[in-house]
Amino acid sequence: MGREVKLSRIETVLGELSYPVDKEIASREFDDVTVLYANGELNLGDLIADTSAEQFGSVDDVVSELENVLPRDAVGEPFQSEGEG
């Protein structure tokens, strides 16, 4: 049975790996993890496979790469800017 993790807690799951780690290994390691976000869910292994990096040096590197492949609605409201107002 697969695991589920909220997007806001993804660092906890990513912290299970030893870094640096190749993308292929990370993708395989998390092929059973479903990332839950406000409007849906995605497979973490697939998301990692879709990143452009071939290797990750840290959890922060993975998170940064994931932000580039996550759907826009997973990381906030479209056209909403932080820091204004």
32-55 pLDDT, tens digit each: 999 999 889 999 999 999 999 999
55-64 pLDDT, tens digit each: 999 999 999 9
Domain ranges of the chain: 3-73
Q: Degrees (nearest 5) of the Cα angle 48, 40, 16?
A: 40
What is the reported pLDDT for 1?
Answer: 63
Residue of 61, 57, 67 lying closest to 35 (CA atoms): 67
What is the reported pLDDT for 84?
Answer: 47
6, two tokens: 């909220």
Predicted structure pTM score? 0.84
Q: How far apart are the first and last CA of the chain?
A: 45
Are the CB atoms for 74 and 38 separated by under 8 Å? yes
**DSSP-derived secondary structure letter, 82:** T
